Amino acid sequence: MRILFIASEVAPFSKTGGLGDVAGALPAALAALGHDVKVVTPRYAEVKDPRLVPTGHSLQLRFPFGEEGGPILSVRIAERLEVLFLENERFFNRTGIYGDAFGEFGDNHRRFAYLSIGALQAAQRLQFIPDIVHLNDWQTGLAGVALQRGFQHTPLSRARCVMTIHNLAYQGQYSKDVMGELGLPWDLFTSHDGIEFYDTVNFLKAGLVFSDSITTVSPTYAKEIQTPELGCNLDGLLKRQQGRVVGILNGIDVHEWDPATDGLLPARYSVGDMAGKAACKRELLKRMGLPEGDAPVLGIVSRLAWQKGVDLLLDVLPTALQADLRFVAVGSGEGHYEHGLRELQARFPKQVGVQIGFDRALSHLVEAGADFFVMPSRYEPCGLNQMYSLRYGTVPIVRATGGLVDTVEGGLDGNGILFEAFHPAALLAAVRRGLALYADPQRLEAFRRRGMERDFSWAVSARRYESLFFSLRKE
């Protein structure tokens, strides 16, 4: 099949979270199965990879607010995989992916309309006629609309459209003025199952309504988003589409995340020889300005957003730190969480290390050097960090929600620790279970081994996408 994969971030070129990881790895896994895959993404200012070369093609799109265009660049990753970068001076040549220190960019609806429609035009220009157009999150939702309204008389109309929800809470909601601004047909706003949402325009809803199939990134989250608690006001719509909402668990890039070969670590290790993990722990403590020692280390690497439950952790840690343990955090995001973490560090300077910012090398070191990795998420569509932790022999302590349930196994013979209620007492009890496990080296080793031996590679999940795509393909 020919697959056009559209995403607003693609690792290693651009990344703010797991979407970037998935957009970097899933297309490669599909290409390895023998499909021709083109990934389309913006060329942000931060994308400086010397491998980018001009394709000789460029885009020209006419919007009511003006003409927009720019060259299409490309990097060939593998024989069957190419990443196409849309360059546009006004939209993408600035610092930040979705926003900057002053907040979200005010023209994101224009920027991502450009990505969505531009991706289809790019395919056209390169004469790549896809069987499947694969959309990811709200930034790409308008491509679903454009396939049926705009490209319906072109060869692209034979493509089937799949929308993957990585996070239902981010929907790209704008005032209805945007209809006219982007030149979207008004009947889409007034019809019942169109792109109108409580009198606003909703890009994610557009993608959901105009795609042939909807997937999300774990089986448990697929069920949760059809309930009022986690449905973000789209549960009704998703429920009506029930047969079409499929949960396919994300995989991880087992080459980038492999403790046996990881070049970002001071030492390497594997199930058979764990000595290197102790060296990673020593290095982590040093990097975080903490004294050496054998006390258990809890770590987090996270976007600091409401979703992640950092507030619960900040509630619980002053009590938990009465015990002999250390806590290290790497993250960036909402100011009040950054502030809360810094305060905690100031209060417990010998036990708490905090690094605010996005730091790839340090994220690997935390996965390797910590004894436990904490994810007290309010909700978690899939979560990749807990899988990285398992692979690095770092026991995850997670809330039983979304993809965390589908990857972390609790119980005496499990590979991690799960807690149910989003409540300080529940998290504290889970941390204490972790400390008890740490005090029992044999049991700890068994937990680590079970985690490290579990297969999280993309191969299995890519097959699931493949069979979904085959089932949709037009004759």
Partner interacting with residue 415 (select from ligand ADP, ligand GLC, none; CB below 5-8 Å by kind)? none
Partner interacting with residue 173 (select from ligand GLC, ligand ADP, none; CB below 5-8 Å by kind)? none
302 counts as binding ligand ADP under rule CB under 6 A: yes
| Closest residue to ligand ADP: CB criterion | 18
- Strands (E) in 199-263, as ranges, are 200-202, 213-216, 245-247
Phi and psi (nearest 5°) for 274?
-90, 5
Q: Which is nearer to ligand ADP, 88 or 401 (CB)?
A: 401
Q: Which is nearer to ligand GLC, 167 or 355 (CB)?
A: 167
17 counts as binding ligand ADP under rule CB under 6 A: yes
Angle at 271 between CA 267 and CA 275, to 5 degrees: 40
With CB under 6 A as the rule, give the number of residues binding ligand ADP: 18
CB of 275 to ligand GLC, least distance (A): 31
Spatial contact of 218 and 403, defined as CB atoms under 8 Å apart: yes
Provide the CB-side half-sphere exposure for 295 (13 A, CA).
Answer: 20
Site for ligand ADP (CB under 6 A): which residue of 3, 9, 21, 118?
21
Site for ligand ADP (CB under 6 A): which residue of 331, 369, 396, 416?
331
Q: What single-letter DSSP state applies at residue 234?
A: -
CB of 375 to ligand ADP, least distance (A): 8
Spatial contact of 112 and 203, defined as CB atoms under 8 Å apart: yes
CA 260 to chain centre: 24
Q: Give the Cα separation of 107 and 98 in Å (integer).
A: 10
Q: Are strands 200-202 and 196-197 parallel, antiparallel or unpaired?
A: antiparallel
358 counts as binding ligand ADP under rule CB under 6 A: yes
Q: Would you call the peptide bond into 12 cis, given omega within 30 degrees of 0 as the criterion?
A: yes
Non-local CB neighbours of 414 within 8 Å, separated by 6+ positions = 408, 447, 450
Q: Which span sits near ligand ADP by CB under 6 A: 220-228, 357-365, 438-446, 461-469?
A: 357-365
Q: Which is nearer to ligand ADP, 18 or 376 (CB)?
A: 18
Q: Which is nearer to ligand GLC, 74 or 302 (CB)?
A: 302
396 counts as binding ligand ADP under rule CB under 6 A: no
Q: What single-letter DSSP state applies at residue 297?
A: E
CB of 163 to ligand ADP, least distance (A): 17
Q: Give the Cα separation of 433 and 451 in Å (integer).
A: 17
Site for ligand ADP (CB under 6 A): which residue of 182, 201, 249, 330?
330
Q: Which is nearer to ligand ADP, 63 or 306 (CB)?
A: 306
Q: Kindly write out the interface string for residues 163-182 of this chain, putting x where it contacts ligand ADP by CB under 6 A and - elsewhere.
A: --------------------
CB of 294 to ligand GLC, least distance (A): 32
383 counts as binding ligand ADP under rule CB under 6 A: yes
Contacts 24+ apart (CB under 8 A), 438-447: 438/296, 438/371, 438/372, 444/395, 446/413, 447/395, 447/414, 447/415, 447/416
Site for ligand ADP (CB under 6 A): which residue of 185, 241, 359, 433?
359
Partner interacting with residue 302 (select from ligand GLC, ligand ADP, none; CB below 5-8 Å by kind)? ligand ADP
Q: Which span sits near ligand ADP by CB under 6 A: 55-63, 233-241, 379-387, 410-418?
A: 379-387
Q: Which is nearer to ligand GLC, 338 or 380 (CB)?
A: 380
Partner interacting with residue 217 (select from ligand GLC, ligand ADP, none; CB below 5-8 Å by kind)? ligand GLC
25 counts as binding ligand ADP under rule CB under 6 A: no
Partner interacting with residue 424 (select from ligand ADP, ligand GLC, none; CB below 5-8 Å by kind)? none
Q: Give the end-to-end CA distance of the chain in Å, rounded to a whole number.
A: 12
342 counts as binding ligand ADP under rule CB under 6 A: no
Q: Give the Cα separation of 119 and 122 in Å (integer).
A: 5
Q: Which of 144, 24, 34 is nearest to 75 (CA)?
A: 24
Q: Which is nearer to ligand GLC, 290 or 384 (CB)?
A: 384
Residues at the contact surface with ligand GLC, assessed by CB under 6 A: 17-19, 22, 166-167, 217, 250, 380-384, 403
Q: Alpha helices, DSSP H only, in 241-384? A: 275-287, 310-320, 335-347, 360-369
Torsion of CA 228, 229, 235, 241, to 10 degrees: -110
Non-local CB neighbours of 78 within 8 Å, separated by 6+ positions = 28, 31, 32
Q: Which is nearer to ligand GLC, 156 or 387 (CB)?
A: 387
Q: Which span sits near ligand ADP by CB under 6 A: 14-22, 63-71, 203-211, 222-230?
A: 14-22
Site for ligand ADP (CB under 6 A): which residue of 211, 220, 345, 363?
363
369 counts as binding ligand ADP under rule CB under 6 A: no
CA separation, residue 158 to residues 129, 145, 161, 310 (Å): 8, 14, 10, 45
Residues binding ligand ADP (CB under 6 A): 17-19, 21, 301-303, 330-332, 358-360, 363, 382-385
